[in-house]
Amino acid sequence: MAARGSAQWDGDLKTGSGSFTAGDSLSGEYSFKSRFEDGPGANPEQLVAAAHASCFSMALSLVLGEAGTPPEQIKTDAKVTLRMLDEGPTITKVDLVTVAKVPDSDEAAFQQAAEAAKSGCVISRALAGVPEITLEATLES
Question: pLDDT, tens digit, for every residue of 95-105?
Answer: 999 999 999 89
With respect to residue 77, please indicate whether it lies within any of the assigned structural domains.
yes
pLDDT of residue 1: 81
Q: For residue 127, give every residue at least 6 positions away whose Cβ sits within 8 Å of its Cβ, in sequence order, or none.
A: 48, 52, 91, 94, 133
Q: Residue 41: its pLDDT value, please?
A: 93
pTM of the model: 0.93
What is the residue range of 111's domain? 45-140
The answer to the question of residue 49 being in a domain is yes
- Looking at 1-141, which runs of residues are DSSP E strands? 5-10, 17-22, 26-31, 73-85, 88-101, 132-140
Q: How many domains does the chain have?
A: 1
Q: Output the domain CATH number for residue 82.
A: 3.30.300.20
The series of mean pLDDT values per 10 residues for the chain, 141 residues long, is: 93 96 93 93 95 98 97 98 94 98 95 97 97 97 74
Report if residue 18 sits inside a domain.
no
**14 found inside a domain:** no
Is there a domain that residue 1 lies in? no
Phi, psi of 105 (to 5 degrees): -105, 145
